[in-house]
């Protein structure tokens, strides 16, 4: 059953419309988008119904809150036809490869010296430490997601509701045709594959997505510095701009920020 058929199967929804991809022959309609912000509790109810509806709800933000086109979502800047399947990718191999790519030093183009660049990823330097161990949940992952969805809407009152046919939240990113991390990899399914793994190891759930941002709830965050350093390394491989462009400009300080944190926000510059 496709998305449009599922939408007519009795789900009470606010006014909205199907979004057509602006790439290819225009036949892809992967996303339903509400016309305005959703009512309090609607995201949680739809997420609870996902097992029967097959629709994963997303809280979607535009590049510019004042943009009447609501880019990228409202104008169809979504490209599901360019995405592979998340199941086709090994998340741990991806993280290891991305880590190697992001820790290469180029003396000609890099404003930092080789020593300064390696200091950013200390204590690991260029050596990939491997995946972080799974952490102990502090709450039920779905309950944490519902709590974060309420916080997210308070923080981003202009967000709208999106619905995508997907077996899990991680897969909804590729299914929707989201291209936020395209500066690093144009196939969003690779990022979906990593988020799948985080769903299993850290109780992560996909809640919000922006033009080039991703917002996850986390029910099993690291609770000590050693575990947090391993998670920080994964975050750097996944989205190096969190460290390069963020308030925490090296892995050690970024790791301290992750201890006990029940939401992970990523932004690609």
Q: Mind listing the pLDDT tens digit of every residue in the chain (269 residues)? A: 567 666 756 667 999 999 999 876 657 899 999 999 999 899 999 999 999 999 999 999 999 999 999 999 999 999 999 999 999 999 999 999 999 999 987 655 666 677 877 888 999 999 999 999 999 999 999 999 999 999 999 999 999 999 999 999 999 999 999 999 999 999 999 999 999 999 999 999 999 999 999 999 999 999 999 999 999 999 999 999 999 988 888 999 999 999 999 999 999 98
Q: According to the model, what pLDDT value does residue 268 have?
A: 96
Q: According to the model, what pLDDT value does residue 76 have?
A: 95
Q: Is the dihedral angle over the CA atoms 173, 179, 183, 188 positive or is it negative?
A: positive
Q: According to the model, what pLDDT value does residue 110 have?
A: 65
Q: Sheet containing 204-209: which strands, arranged edge to edge?
A: 16-19, 31-34, 160-165, 55-60, 204-209, 213-218, 263-267
Helix (H, G, I), strand (E, B) or coil at 259: coil
How many whole angstroms separate alpha carbon 25 and alpha carbon 155? 37
pTM for the full model? 0.94
Q: According to the model, what pLDDT value does residue 127 have?
A: 93
Per the listing, tokens 């660049």 go with 117
Name the DSSP class of 4. H
How many whole angstroms separate alpha carbon 141 and alpha carbon 254? 23
């Amino acid at each position: 059953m496709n998305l449009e058929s599922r939408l007519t199967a009795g789900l009470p929804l606010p006014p909205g419309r199907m979004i057509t991809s602006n790439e290819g022959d225009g036949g892809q309609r992967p996303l339903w988008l509400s016309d305005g912000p959703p009512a309090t509790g609607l995201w949680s109810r739809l997420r609870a119904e996902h097992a029967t509806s097959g629709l994963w709800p997303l809280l979607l933000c535009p590049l510019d809150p004042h943009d009447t086109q609501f880019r990228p979502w409202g104008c169809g800047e979504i490209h599901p036809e360019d995405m592979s399947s998340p199941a086709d990718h090994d998340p741990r191999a991806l993280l290891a490869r991305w880590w190697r790519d992001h820790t290469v030093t180029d003396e000609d183009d890099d404003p930092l010296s080789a020593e300064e660049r390696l200091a950013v990823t200390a204590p690991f330097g260029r050596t990939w430490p491997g995946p972080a161990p799974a952490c102990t949940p502090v709450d039920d992952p779905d309950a944490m997601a519902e709590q974060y969805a309420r916080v997210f809407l308070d923080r981003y009152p202009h967000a709208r509701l999106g619905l995508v046919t997907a077996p899990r939240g991680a897969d909804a990113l590729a299914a929707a045709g989201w291209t936020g991390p395209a500066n690093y990899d144009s196939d969003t399914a690779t990022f979906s594959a990593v988020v799948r793994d985080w769903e299993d190891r850290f109780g992560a759930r996909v809640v919000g997505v922006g033009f080039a941002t991703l917002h996850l709830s986390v029910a099993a965050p690291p609770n000590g510095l050693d575990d947090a350093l391993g998670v920080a390394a994964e975050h750097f491989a996944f989205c190096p701009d969190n460290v390069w462009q963020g308030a925490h400009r090296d892995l050690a300080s970024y790791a301290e920020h992750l201890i006990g944190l029940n939401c992970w926000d990523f932004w690609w510059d």
